[in-house]
A = this chain, B = another copy of it.
Amino acid sequence: MGNKGEALKQRIVTAADNLFYLHGYDNTSFSDIADAVGISRGNFYYHFKCKDEILNAVIDTRVASYRAMLRDWDKSITDPRLRLYFYIDMQLRNQDNILSHGCPIGSLCTELAKVSDSSLHDANKMLAVFRDWLITQLKLLGVKKNAKQISMHLLARGQGIATVTNAFADKKFLQLEVKGLKQWLDDEILKSIH
């Protein structure tokens, strides 16, 4: 419960978060995390009782951090439509990372779906944060019936862009698709609010 211990725990989670993104969950060892943080391997087990617990901490931390980010957007951007653009442009801002490592959320979901008990974690919580926020923004714009469907579609488009951009290492493709996605959204909003 001491301050120093809590701070270290957070540093472990932050380092694990980053390494899980760069190399995947399974390919990240305690040694890797320990080296990144600058502590010894044995120290982990004071803060976490197994590797799965670090995974869950990473997921929870990400969920909290995404929520905080979206709250910031809500504060700094008043027009919901501009918020949606800003969401879509996130891939443009992160294009270099996506090119090399894909989407941090999607790639983790994809990996964890293959491993062990899916009951021990729920990586899709991270996607759900964005889905729910998107629904809210669309409803603010007057979209009533299709808000959820459009939101899911936006998630999927983002995932597809990330996967293909990463697989082909094609940054131009990402840029083109992001542009097209914003146009699609405009059309869709127009149609949905008649």
Chain A interface residues (CB < 8 Å from chain B): 22-24, 26-27, 100-102, 106-107, 109-111, 113-115, 123-124, 127, 149, 152-153, 155-161, 163-164, 166-168, 170, 173, 176-177, 180
Q: Are A167 and B127 neighbours in the complex by a CB distance under 8 Å?
A: yes
Shortest Cβ distance from A116 into B: residue: B27
Chain B neighbourhood of A156, CB < 8 A:
157, 160-161, 163-164, 173, 177
Which 10 A-B pairs rank lowest in CB-CB distance, beginning with the nearest? A160-B160, A156-B160, A24-B114, A159-B163, A109-B167, A156-B164, A159-B160, A124-B167, A110-B110, A107-B110
Which of B157, B161, B166, B177 contacts A110, CB < 8 Å?
A: B166
Chain B neighbourhood of A167, CB < 8 A:
106, 109-110, 113, 123-124, 127
The number of times this chain is found in the oligomer is 2
A107 to B110, CA, bound (A): 6
A166 to B177, CA, bound (A): 22
A185 to B41, CA, bound (A): 53
